[in-house]
Amino acid sequence: MPRLLVIFSSLALALSLFFIAAETQPAFAQDTAESEAEDEAIVPFALPEDGPFHPENIEIKNNDAISDWYRSAHADAAAEAFRHWDGEEEINPVCSVCHSGEGFRAFHGLDGSEPGVPNEPIPTGGVVDCGTCHNPGLAEIKEITFPSGLSHPVQGVEAACMTCHQGRTAGVTVENAIDGKSLDESDGELRFVNPHYATAAATWLGGYGGAGYHYEGQDYSGRFFHAQPVSTCNSCHDPHSLEIEFEPCMTCHQGESPADIRIARQSYDGSGDTDKGIKSDIEANAAMLLDMIRTYAEEVVEVPIIYDGHSYPYFFADANGDGAVDQNEGSSVSYNAWTPRLLRAAYNWKLVTADPGAFAHNPVYSLELLHDSMADLGGPLGIDIAELGIRR
């Protein structure tokens, strides 16, 4: 009897172990499968696990975008925009916001710091890198403040475009500088107000953005609204190459390039030629305004002025009228005989010409600024631009 009890006990124990194993086996197998899946998903390297291989055969899914960016001005590490501070080996905080990805991220607090101009200079060698426009934190930026004081709503990558293409000054900067001064009297305290470069966003917003100097009594066109699908920077510019694909434009426009597009049936430059693109009218009026600036400086201020687009602050003195920039101990003499009337005209001229795409970004606003500046200088010069056929 005891022997039979032992046999039954052993059998019961075996059956118990069997059922326990049967219950736990699926969970164990599931855990093992999940562990193996996790190990397979984690690939801490980009190269293939097995060789031999050739680097050029490795697939990079965004290779085209990287190649386009690499050929763009945003990635040109040899350009003046990124090498200007090489001698100091650091970029001052204000300039770093747009001349380095690191400075841009610090300005918007995308690096975890408090938003605002960086507290310290930024090392040289950076460009407008991938992390500038692809940072997920851009989605949290809802508005960008312009030099005029305007806060403009933005979405996504618009925050990057409008931060760096808004210019550094506005019409109000000029207004404050000339406030209370006699219009046609030289003032040694006045200096040229530079709107900066590639001011596409400022041009695009027009009078609403307040980038230009607005003459009293005049109304100015606001943001340039294009056809409905064309409503953002990336509507026209490839976000990586920055190039413009002209083919979509031909849905509504004719021509060989954007410069051939004309938006009006009237001539603005007095030529009467409405077959050319509106860019030609803007360029012609800008050239005429620059001639009037020179004439005003020579005849009214009696201190000739010379413009040199390759040297800051661009406008230089030619006190003896010999056609050459005055020199002082080997350095060019900046123009220092500004009158309020001359300064505001020169500012508007520089603003319009600083944006090579002004004819597309906001041609109407550009023509208004040029017209009003010429009309203002024309007073003391005895020139009636209406008689010249110049239109606003």
Average per-residue pLDDT for the chain: 89
* Long-range pairs, 366-371, Cβ under 8 A, ≥24: 366/203, 366/282, 367/268, 367/281, 367/282, 367/285, 367/391, 367/392, 368/207, 368/218, 368/220, 368/221, 368/392, 369/212, 369/213, 369/220, 370/282, 370/285, 370/286, 370/289, 371/268, 371/285
Residue 6 pLDDT level (bands cut at 50, 70, 90): very low
What is the structure's pLDDT at 273? 96
- Residue ranges of the alpha helices (H) in 42-120? 63-70, 80-83, 93-99, 101-107
Q: Which residue type sits at 352? A: V
| pLDDT at res. 251 | 87
Cβ-proximal residues to 371 (8 Å cutoff; 6+ apart), any chain: 268, 285, 385, 390, 391, 392
Whether residue 15 is predicted with pLDDT greater than 90 in this model: the reply is no
Query: Which pLDDT score, from 0 to 100, does residue 4 have?
Result: 40
- Encode pLDDT of 159-212 as tens digits: 999 999 999 999 999 999 999 999 999 999 999 999 999 999 999 999 999 999
Local structure of 315: helix, strand or coil = strand
Q: What whole-number distance in Å separates Cα of residue 68 and Cα of residue 66? A: 5
Determine the pLDDT at residue 1: 43
Give residue 228's pLDDT band: very low, low, confident or very high (50, 70, 90): confident
pLDDT of res. 225? 87
Q: Tell me the sheet residues that pair with 244.
A: 237
Confidence of residue 254 (pLDDT cuts 50, 70, 90): confident
φ/ψ of 48, rounded to 5, equals -60, 150
pTM: 0.84
Residue 229: per-residue pLDDT: 76
To which residue do tokens 């100097």 refer? Answer: 213
Separation CA 139–CA 144 (nearest Å): 13
**Is a pLDDT exceeding 60 seen at residue 13?**
no
Q: What pLDDT score does 302 carry?
A: 97
Residue 299 sits at φ, ψ, to 5 deg, of -90, -35
Average pLDDT over residues 327-356: 97
Task: Quick: pLDDT tens for 141-160.
Answer: 999 999 999 999 999 999 99
Averaged pLDDT for residues 363-390: 97
Quote the CA–CA distance of 232 and 201 in Å, as a whole number.
10
Whether residue 269 contacts residue 254, with contact meaning beta carbons closer than 8 Å, is answered with no
Instruction: Note the pLDDT tens digit of each residue in 90-136.
Output: 999 999 999 999 999 999 999 999 999 999 999 999 999 999 999 99
The pLDDT of residue 18:
40
On the CB side of 387, CA atoms within 13 Å amount to: 4
Cα 309 to its chain centre, rounded Å, is: 20
Arithmetic mean of pLDDT, 227-236? 85
Q: Let me know: does 347 contact 293? Beta carbons within 8 Å.
A: no
> pLDDT (tens digit, 9 = 90+) per residue, 55-84?
777 777 788 999 999 999 999 999 999 999
Q: What is the pLDDT of residues 20-68, one digit of tens each?
A: 444 444 444 455 555 554 555 555 555 566 667 777 777 777 889 999 9
Token pair in block for residue 286: 């800008």
